[in-house]
Amino acid sequence: AQSVTQLDSQVPVFEEAPVELRCNYSSSVSVYLFWYVQYPNQGLQLLLKYLSGSTLVKGINGFEAEFNKSQTSFHLRKPSVHISDTAEYFCAVSIKAAGNKLTFGGGTRVLVKP
């Protein structure tokens, strides 16, 4: 079975500073990788996804992530955060042959301070 670990439960960051959210996964088979953002009392919005091809993936709102197969990581980065980036971020994986059933990491709460 696959699993996802988000190493940081909370990340405080100042406005306009860069941020990196770490995600590691384990799986014996090929996976798709995703990052989602959740604002309070809302569902999830897809930030970006890695399916195949280039390991550097660019998403919405200035976010990007890099797939590193050897380190089984899919870290999310943004060079300059805004107050509006304050939210919960979830890394998720799905097995290519398993009907896209997602397994989520524990989430990282980003708090952007002015």
Partner 1 sequence: GAVVSQHPSWVICKSGTSVKIECRSLDFQATTMFWYRQFPKQSLMLMATSNEGSKATYEQGVEKDKFLINHASLTLSTLTVTSAHPEDSSFYICSARGTGETGELFFGEGSRLTVL
Stretch that binds partner 1, among 22-30, 62-70, 74-82, 100-108 (CB under 8 A): 100-108
CB of 70 to partner 1, least distance (A): 23
Query: Is residue 45 close enough to count as binding partner 1 by CB under 8 A?
Result: yes
The DSSP code sequence of 23-72 is -EEE-SS-EEEEEEEE-TT--EEEEEEE-SS-SEEE-GGG-EEEEETTTT
What is the C-alpha separation between 103 and 31, in angstroms, rounded? Answer: 11
Complex with partner 1: residue 76 or 105, whichever CB lies closer: 105
Among 2, 8, 44, 66, binds partner 1 (CB under 8 A): 44
What is the C-alpha separation between 100 and 109, in angstroms, rounded? Answer: 25
What does the binding site for partner 1 look like in residue numbers (CB under 8 A)? 32, 36, 41-46, 49, 51, 90, 99-107, 109
